[in-house]
Structure 1
Amino acid sequence: MSKTGGCLCGAVTFELAEDPKTYGACHCQMCRKFSGGIEMSVQVMPGGITWQGEDNVQTFASSEWAERGFCKTCGSSLLWRLTAPGPMQGMLILSAGALDSLDGMVFDNEVYIDHKPASHAFAGDDRTQMTEAEVLALYGPTE
């Protein structure tokens, strides 16, 4: 069964082409401001999501190389999308909270770990942890 989800008011819904096996956390300042805390998310490659009510998704260019999307009716945080040219262009980081269920998924990564507030900690440390420099080297603009 495919993973489904949507915004708080139901104006935007989606279905993922493949069931994600993992989800992660981002500690960067923009994600904290966008989500109101630690941004828990799922990576979705281009073409991996089907939207209903996509005209209700408002986007905001949050940097020169990415945008964020939210429901323009209820304000629910929905996504971060890589807009910079390159092999990963169009990749989505979908807000895990927008999924109907995280059942069967494993929390396996944290990014911008060097921006994590000292008071935030998750149980165990058996997940990939990347600093800002490591994330930018992998996904950032190449120009």
Structure 2
Amino acid sequence: MKAQCLCGAVSLEVEHNQHVYCCHCERCRTWASGAHFAVEAIVTPKITGNQYISRYQSSDSLERCFCKQCGTHVFSYIIPSDRYTINAGLFKENQNFHLSMQYFTDLQAPYYHLSDDSPSMTAAEFLAQSSRKD
């Protein structure tokens, strides 16, 4: 599927499963001014306009990438696992998307509440799952 920033300088060809993940952590809320919605790329996306992408390493494990021209939040790169999560709002063809998981629900800002009954995890639940050695 095609995804594109607001000004069109950055575009992506992304293979994903149409599952949208929502994060309510403090960093994502600061980044997105609310919950951050993303889809996970199944394979490395084909990116056009790399010269317009700026990367900000917000933690040891995550780079937040945005368009230098228009400021659109384009994707996050998860360093240890070499994975990409793409801003769900970049896809014009999103009618088959569905919210599959909400993370850090106990950190959700008090000024919004998603009415969706999708599965969710608190910060403690997410961190416990992430630290498992399967």
TM category, shorter: 0.7 to 0.9
Q: Distance in 1 between matches of 2:75 and 2:19?
A: 16
Q: CA RMSD in A?
A: 1.9
Identity of paired residues, percent? 26
The TM-score normalised by the length of structure 2 is 0.87
Q: Retained in 2: the 8 A contact 1:110–1:128?
A: yes
1:122 pairs with 2:120: no
Q: Secondary structure at the match of 2:27?
A: helix
After superposition, give the CA deviation of every residue in 1:22-73 in whole Å (9 maximum; x if it has no partner): 11211111111111221111111442x1111122111011001111000011
Q: Distance in 1 between matches of 2:87 and 2:112?
A: 19
Q: Distance in 2 between matches of 1:6 and 1:39?
A: 17
For 1:136, the equivalent position in structure 2 comes to 127
For 1:105, the equivalent position in structure 2 comes to 97
Name which of 55, 58, 63 aligns with 2:59.
63
Q: Distance in 1 between matches of 2:86 and 2:116?
A: 24
Q: Retained in 2: the 8 A contact 1:67–1:82?
A: yes
In structure 1, runs of 5+ residues without a counterpart are none
User: How far has the Cα of 1:138 moved from its partner?
Assistant: 4.2
The TM-score normalised by the length of structure 1 is 0.82
Q: Secondary structure at the match of 1:62?
A: strand
Q: Which amino acid aligns with 2:124?
A: A
Number of matched residues? 132
Q: Which amino acid aligns with 2:123?
A: E
Q: Distance in 2 between matches of 1:33 and 1:94?
A: 17
Q: Retained in 2: the 8 A contact 1:13–1:52?
A: yes
Q: Distance in 2 between matches of 1:117 and 1:33?
A: 10
Q: Retained in 2: the 8 A contact 1:67–1:80?
A: yes
Q: Retained in 1: the 8 A contact 2:15–2:42?
A: no
Going from structure 1 to structure 2, the CA distance change for 1:82 and 1:37 (only over 3 Å counts) comes to same
In structure 2, runs of 5+ residues without a counterpart are none
